[in-house]
Amino acid sequence: MNLKLKIVLLAILISGSACQSQTKSTVIQKEVSLTIKAEKVATWEGQDVFHYILDNGTMQVEMTNYGGIISRIITPDKDGKLENVVLALDNIPDYFTKNGPYLGAAVGRYANRIGTASFTLEGETFEITKNNGENTLHGGAKGFGVKVWKPEVYKTDKAVGVKMTYLSVDGEEGFPGNLETNLWMELTSNNELKLRFESTTDKKTVVNLTNHSYFNLSGITGDVRDHELQIFADAITPGGPGQIPTGEIKLIAGTPFDFQTPKNLGAQLDALGEGFDHNYVTKRANSSELKKIAIVKHPESGRIMEVFSTAPGVQLYTANGFNNFAGADGISYQSHWALCLEPEAWPDSPNKPSFPSTSLAPGEKYVHEIVYEFGVED
């Protein structure tokens, strides 16, 4: 079946007399209308912060150049009802001080964890910021998700988007090299939210970038235990103390981690006995292949999201830490009220020579593509 949403108009032509009539039906594809709106909403650290609304006539995506944050994704259900499907805050300035969970943020320089907040490159050891016990999480105390990116809106025949640029200077959070990153975030006429990260450096460094949206396809009416999840991965990288990988690649067939076929998320949570916060192995090595890595379905609303990525892994996180977190529209978010699928390199790769490399040298280009495709199923 085609998972892409289609809007159709039904034209009914009636002809004949009182004693005889004939009805014919014609289905007409509605022309897609791609628009983007931009509004300055604040100034942060001396830089302008904008709120963007991308619209393709069927769904809308809201975002901001503060932290490269996706603040809302509004999609129809099987009856055409439009609802937001990501956890959010009420307005963009709230993200300046209230976004401890990285809601919708672009995270880096290194998404996920680096053990002992240190790594070695070419014989030199770099001590980076500890912000997760003795480890580093999502780039340190002030990672990419709290930076103001330089924005530029654009429109093509098939998409509208914002290109965002951020220069992370040599030594920021302890990471080496001046790392320049471009991030394209666009909504297509086919109901795809496409992200593309590109980075270059002037000194050998490590880089691992992703988006940290929290998805709830019900329209955030409760937890996500009723969601159906499939992840195209046959292994995880199990963690030890501090959730730092042990270095093992562990096959998951027949375990509560196994989503190789579609599974009810609540049943898997019960079987595991705790929340998920694990890296799934979607590739054994780095490559540029854009691979389908996951499918999420909400049977009641009919909403479906397919996830594609070029990265070798995806972190599944089931919002385990939420406890009356004050979200948008007066809703208090609770544990398991969303799931994150964070496509990325494997955690602690800089300290695991057997893992796919996350190093980037001058003259090379880091590229990571992510696609979230939205649809409905009857």
Give 55-114 pLDDT, tens digit per residue: 999 999 999 999 999 999 999 999 999 999 999 999 999 999 999 999 999 999 999 999
Q: What pLDDT is stored for residue 262 in this prediction?
A: 98
Phi and psi, residue 199, nearest 5°: -135, 145
- The reply to whether 214 sits in an annotated binding site is yes
Q: Tell me, what's the pLDDT at 13?
A: 27
How many Å apart are CA 23 and CA 21, to the nearest integer?
7
Residue 4: band (very low, low, confident or very high) from pLDDT cuts 50, 70, 90: very low
Is 277 assigned to a binding site?
Answer: yes
Sequence letter at residue 324: N
Q: What is the pLDDT of residues 198-233, one digit of tens each?
A: 999 999 999 999 999 999 999 999 999 999 999 999
Report how far residue 226's alpha carbon sits from residue 208's, in angstroms, rounded to the nearest whole number: 31
348-367 pLDDT per residue, tens? 999 999 999 999 999 999 99
Summarised one tens digit per residue, pLDDT across range 7-28 is 333 332 223 333 333 333 333 2
How far is Cα 270 from Cα 262, in angstroms, rounded to an integer?
A: 16
pLDDT band at 332 (very low <50, low <70, confident <90, very high): very high
Q: Is 113 annotated as a binding residue?
A: yes
pLDDT at 36: 98
Q: What is the pLDDT of residue 31?
A: 55
212 is in an annotated binding site: yes
What tokens does 343 get? 């496509």
Write out the two tokens for 111: 């998404």
* pTM more than 0.85: yes
CATH class of 35-224+316-376: mainly beta
At residue 378, the pLDDT reads 75
Q: What is the pLDDT of residues 26-39, one digit of tens each?
A: 332 345 799 999 99
The single residue of 62, 186, 306, 342 carrying the catalytic annotation is 342
At residue 290, the pLDDT reads 98
pLDDT the model gives residue 149: 98
Q: pLDDT tens, 163-186?
A: 999 999 999 999 999 999 999 999
Tokens of 62: 């809201």
Per residue in 191-200, pLDDT tens?
999 999 999 9
Q: Which of 67, 209, 68 is nearest to 142 (CA)?
A: 67
Question: Among residues 51, 138, 212, 227, which one is catalytic?
Answer: 212
pLDDT tens digit sequence for 265-278: 999 999 999 999 99
pLDDT given at position 306: 98
Mean pLDDT of the chain: 93
Domain ranges of the chain: 35-224+316-376
* Radius of gyration of the chain measured on its C-alpha atoms: 22
Catalytic annotation on 212?
A: yes
Please indicate whether residue 342 is annotated as part of the active site: yes
Q: Is 216 annotated as a binding residue?
A: no
The predicted structure's pLDDT at residue 23: 31
